[in-house]
Structure 1
Amino acid sequence: VLGIVGSSLLGGTASSGGAVAAANSSGLTFAAYRALFDTPGLLSPVWLSLQLGLAGATLAVAVGLVINLWNQYRGRARAAALIDIGLVAVIGLPSIVLAAGFVFFYNLPAVYNALPVYNTQWLLLVGYVVGFSPLAVRMLHGPLAQAGRSLYDAGRVHGFIALRAWTKAVLPLIWRSLLSVWLFLVAVIMFELPLSEVLHAPSGEPLAVAVAVQFKSQIATGTALTVVAIAAMIAVLAAVNGLVRAAGMLHRGQRARQEAAVDSLVAGLTTVNTTP
């Protein structure tokens, strides 16, 4: 991080693979940051990658949760083994090969007529979901296995439908793990390069592509864009953490009011029962 920040303040260009101070700069300068914020469109890769990261992580976590729940509650041993083999194959496949397969498949006339996502950012989003869903499945397997299904079964015995039994009994135990995996995937997708470089649409370049291609000869501008993206990701982390803390405070306040109401009711009943 210190290297990236220092490089962004040099105002340098590419020279023998490294950064050198600009000729008109006598030291550290914020010229690269001024160029980013003053020039329209230079910050668009950050917002594009952030949006794709939020959407891709949400869908990948949803897919990972569904696959894990199916294996845990409905799956059979042979089907679970086949799914595991498929996940290992996707994880082991190089991202550049996966992206090339997407290009060939979605460019077929029959596929394009049915699903015209080729040469759009939707194809990149699909690539993110397919590429990172196996990671979500692996990361969510542990928390779900630890939570088990005994609480779910207890909810079903007491008359809850399946969805309500799971959300009331199991979700409170794993929601922090879900949130952590989601935030991790947002950060990974936001800075991902191989899939982004092959599948992005001409209408806009993701962050990693802009840094690696558009600003490859402008070290300071590229690293400044990276610093801005890191700051945006930290802001997302801070916002989510603030929302979680606020929700926790509201929940504790609600519980305190409920407990006070119960104590008051018990005290009133006790007074009535002991009055001669």
Structure 2
Amino acid sequence: MNFQHIATGLFLCLCSMLVNAKHVEPDYARQPQTVSEELCEAVKDYDDWKIYHDQWISEAYDLERYQWQASKGYPVKDSRFYEKTDYDKYSTETLMRLAQEGDKAANLELAQRHYYFRSGKVTDAEHFCYMAVVDGFSAMTSCMISSYGEKIARQMAKDQGQSSERQLKLRLKLLGWAQISQDFDDIFAQQFAEILKPGYQRNDITDAMIKDAAESIREELKLARQERKQYKETLTFDVKQKMPELWRMLEQNKLEEQVINSCFIENEYATE
């Protein structure tokens, strides 16, 4: 199994739902999706809806989604809402120095450069991703899972098809991180973990073993947070920011964005 190609493909698939959401013309030939009254009530939380290429859009809603993505550590530099900062132009060496001094934004920038835009091994990103999770960035749990997946692939090559204690430990670590993703209010991190998890849970790995692995990671993260150096607060987003309820409903019910159109058949506050 070429884990790096699989994980990269899954990540790109998930990120296509995240970065700078684009509005396209709905395909009315598709089977219609059910729109609940609850969803249409969530639509009413925004009062700036307008029609664009046969799709109703809201600038306020898009801004909230952007802010949530940024608060979780997802790449947002392609978004029209993104404003460049000094961190964009800092060299890797400068960022590493700042990160070592406890600068959260510098560490996050390094994690994103190494993981999302990497050219080498994903394990090169692991330290920065780990510290980003320590700082509360749930998007980086997928980086940790990917890193351990790459380690497992290398260990499997060494084992030449045989089982080994080292491979078991790596699998448990990966599955523990998959469990950790459930600790965060982040649907996309959870989806990434759930897609990959079945490929690593062998018959000799029990749910109790995974639970223990996850608890061990939680303790490590707790200790790391307590021992975190004093840092210069340079983050502009709250990592505890809640996901927009309308977006949550669409994702949980696996609904396409076009279903929003159905809420505007006789809507007085919407404008063309």
Range class of TM-score, shorter chain: under 0.3
Higher relative contact order structure (alpha carbons within 8 Å, sequence separation ≥ 6) = 1
The structure with more helix, counted as a fraction of residues: 1
What is the TM-score with the length of structure 1 in the denominator? 0.23
TM-score by length of 2: 0.23
- Give the number of the structure whose alpha-carbon radius of gyration is greater: 1
